[in-house]
């Protein structure tokens, strides 16, 4: 459904609601008016003489919502799905007819192409007539779309199928020229008529034509065609708010670009140039679609966010793939520079949409944080990636405070979740474990990575718990701050288990639990104290079930005595806390 249809339905629905409120208000006012002495006590209130508007006027009265829903469902099935099925059946019938004509010798190769083009044109203009003149929008759109596809692939068959190419002798340039004329004509008509579905199909076929150009002798044809089609989409976005077309176009554009990279094997600098140009052009599309004069209804904001995220991620992948093949003096790997550049451009785009009358592009701020960290991580190695991600996460929270923009903070949360996964999957196995004989190696090894993550997550938990946020964000703030504290505690427990063994793990866990309890009592934070109790419980379970299993009688006895003393000491601290105000009642 197009944006114009969404707006029309929304206006009709609001009219019905206003009419219902007017009728109810009139009935209430009539009931509250004092009755005349000569009027019967149960006289009916005066009838509402207001004429209904919109859909209520068509039916004479407000219709039942259940019947309206049933009617809408019936229309969807009867018009859309039966229309799609009819279009598919018609295409299949045309295929069988052409096959029969070929078997009987009625059509040669050129005749088949001409029949497909003419038939597609008839179907397109017939659907357009039904939509524009008769009012059958959905049916006409389906028929017109089927006609465009039939005409396009009939033209392509003149070159794409070897038998047709040999019989007709169609060169590639003539096929691309014919497809370009067809796509341009359909796009122009769809923009004039305001048909986003047909316009989107035209642009997708335009990108398909660019992919066909990879068979050309020159390596320049496909990228030039890609940039031309994208520039046309920028122009269309200035007059038509076709958001879904833009989202589908950015995916199709990068698919065609990858086909060009794989088939033509262009030089890396050319791929970088084309990727950067496409990324900037789609940023221009997003800018035009965020104009305040364009209404945003329903899920339009989600579509705009998908455009920004899809454009950024696909551009970063293409740029990094090309930069990894680029020869740099000194043999430096610049594979992550593409993601860093895209992240910087997104921050600039966010500033642009924030400082102008455009709608603020929060998706740009959201995706810029993890993209920047991924790019820096590719340049810095395993440990450097973790360190850079932690720094960027802190910077994102700081930016969210300075710019008063939650999107930077949410991007930092996504990045933090990625850091946890990286620590558990990559760093735990690939980084060097702690070694007292190699202090330098340990500073860039696994203990340092886990310790840095634990410290940063506790810092973020403390920072988020003290931010002066809006009332709607306070509950969310408490939940996220608690999540950071739990993640930091879990990473500390896992890091200790990775670096130590046997009873040493239990001893370290117990000391860590004491530290959490101490901080919780001093700072009067109940959540930290509960984390300390959880670590105590984990250490207790380990001692009972694992540590004392293979010990002799004397070591086992001493272990239980030591554990009992520690737990009693912790319990004594809690008992003493009842006599002093340390926030235990929070």
Tens digits of residue pLDDT in 476-485: 666 788 888 9
Q: How many residues does the chain have?
A: 586
- Are residues 423 and 489 both part of a single domain? yes
pLDDT score of 553 more than 80:
no
* 402, part of any domain: yes
- Of 313, 348, 375, the position where a domain reaches its end is 375
- Are residues 275 and 367 both part of a single domain? yes
- Are residues 431 and 541 both part of a single domain? no
Whether 560 contacts 548, CB under 8 Å: yes
- Are residues 461 and 416 both part of a single domain? yes
Whether 109 contacts 155, CB under 8 Å: no
Helix (H) or strand (E) holding 312: helix 300-323
- Contacts for 340 with CB less than 8 Å, ≥ 6 apart: 371, 372, 375, 376, 379
pLDDT score of 232 more than 90:
yes
Interval 566-582: pLDDT, tens: 777 767 666 666 544 43
- Are residues 391 and 482 both part of a single domain? yes
Q: Which of 62, 194, 69, 181 is nearest to 140 (CA)?
A: 194
What is the model's pTM? 0.69
- Are residues 473 and 394 both part of a single domain? yes
Number of domains in the chain: 3
Q: Is 12 exposed, middle or buried (0-12, 13-18, 19+ CB in 10 A)?
A: middle
pLDDT at residue number 204: 94
- Are residues 493 and 530 both part of a single domain? no
Comparing 436 with 263, the larger pLDDT belongs to: 263
Please state, in angstroms and as integers, the Cα–Cα distance from residue 253 to each residue in 208, 217, 275, 579, following that order: 9, 21, 10, 70
Among 52-56, 376-380, 393-397, 471-475, the minimum mean pLDDT is found in: 52-56
- Are residues 274 and 328 both part of a single domain? yes
Interval 531-547: pLDDT, tens: 888 888 888 787 777 76
Please state, in angstroms and as integers, the Cα–Cα distance from residue 337 to each residue in 26, 315, 341, 365, following that order: 67, 12, 6, 18
Domain span including residue 527: 500-568
- Are residues 398 and 484 both part of a single domain? yes
Interval 381-435: pLDDT, tens: 788 888 888 888 888 888 777 766 677 778 888 888 888 998 898 888 888 887 7
* 454, part of any domain: yes
Whether 305 contacts 341, CB under 8 Å: no
Interval 29-71: pLDDT, tens: 665 554 443 444 444 444 444 334 333 343 444 445 545 555 5
């Amino acid at each position: 459904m197009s944006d114009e249809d969404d707006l029309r339905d929304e206006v009709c629905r609001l009219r019905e609601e206003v009419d219902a409120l007017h009728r109810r208000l009139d009935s209430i006012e009539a009931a509250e008016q004092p009755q005349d002495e000569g009027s019967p006590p149960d006289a009916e209130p005066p009838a509402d003489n207001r004429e209904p508007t919109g859909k209520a006027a068509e039916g004479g009265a407000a219709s039942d919502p259940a019947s309206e829903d049933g009617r809408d469902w019936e229309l969807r099935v009867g018009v859309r799905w039966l229309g799609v099925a009819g279009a598919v059946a018609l295409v299949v019938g045309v295929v069988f007819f052409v096959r029969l004509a070929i078997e009987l010798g009625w059509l040669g190769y050129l005749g088949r192409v001409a029949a497909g083009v003419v038939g597609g044109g008839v179907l397109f203009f017939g659907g357009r007539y039904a939509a524009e003149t008769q009012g059958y929008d959905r049916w006409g759109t389906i028929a017109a779309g089927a006609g465009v596809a039939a005409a396009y692939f009939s033209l392509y068959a003149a070159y794409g199928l070897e038998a047709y190419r040999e019989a007709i002798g169609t060169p590639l340039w003539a096929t691309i020229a014919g497809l370009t004329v067809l796509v341009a004509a359909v796009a122009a008509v769809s923009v004039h008529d305001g048909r986003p579905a047909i316009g989107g199909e035209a642009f997708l076929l335009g990108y398909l034509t660019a992919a066909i150009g990879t068979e050309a002798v020159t390596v320049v044809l496909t990228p030039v065609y890609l940039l031309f089609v994208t520039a046309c989409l920028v122009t269309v976005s200035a007059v038509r708010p076709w958001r879904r077309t833009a989202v589908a176009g950015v995916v199709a554009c990068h698919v065609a670009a990858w086909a060009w990279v794989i088939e033509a094997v262009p030089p890396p600098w050319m791929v970088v140039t084309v990727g950067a140009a496409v990324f900037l052009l789609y940023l221009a599309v997003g800018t035009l679609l965020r104009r305040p004069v364009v209404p945003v209804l329903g899920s339009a904001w989600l579509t705009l966010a998908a455009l920004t995220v899809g454009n950024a991620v696909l551009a970063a992948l293409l740029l990094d793939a090309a930069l990894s093949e680029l020869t740099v003096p000194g043999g430096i790997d610049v594979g992550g520079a593409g993601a860093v550049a895209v992240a910087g451009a997104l921050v600039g785009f966010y500033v642009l949409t924030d400082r102008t009358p455009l709608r603020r592009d929060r998706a740009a701020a959201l995706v810029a944080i993890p993209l920047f960290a991924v790019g820096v991580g590719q340049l810095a190695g395993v440990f450097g990636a973790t360190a850079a991600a932690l720094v960027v996460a802190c910077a994102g929270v700081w930016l969210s405070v300075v710019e008063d923009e939650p999107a930077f903070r949410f991007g930092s949360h996504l990045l933090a979740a990625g850091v946890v996964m990286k620590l558990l999957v990559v760093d735990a196995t690939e980084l060097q474990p702690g070694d007292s004989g190699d202090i330098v190696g340990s500073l860039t090894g696994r203990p340092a990575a886990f310790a840095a993550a634990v410290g940063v997550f506790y810092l973020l938990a403390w920072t988020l718990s003290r931010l002066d946020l809006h009332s709607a964000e306070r509950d969310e703030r408490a939940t996220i701050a608690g999540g950071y504290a739990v993640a930091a505690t879990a990473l500390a427990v896992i890091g200790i288990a990775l670096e130590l063994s046997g009873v040493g793990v239990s001893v370290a866990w117990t000391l860590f639990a004491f530290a959490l309890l101490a901080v919780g009592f001093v700072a009067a934070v109940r959540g930290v104290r509960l984390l300390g109790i959880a670590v105590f419980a984990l250490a207790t379970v380990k001692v009972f079930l694992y540590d004392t299993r293979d010990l002799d009688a004397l070591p086992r006895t001493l272990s239980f005595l030591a554990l009992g003393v520690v737990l009693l000491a912790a319990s004594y601290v809690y008992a003493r806390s009842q006599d002093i105000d340390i926030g235990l009642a929070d």
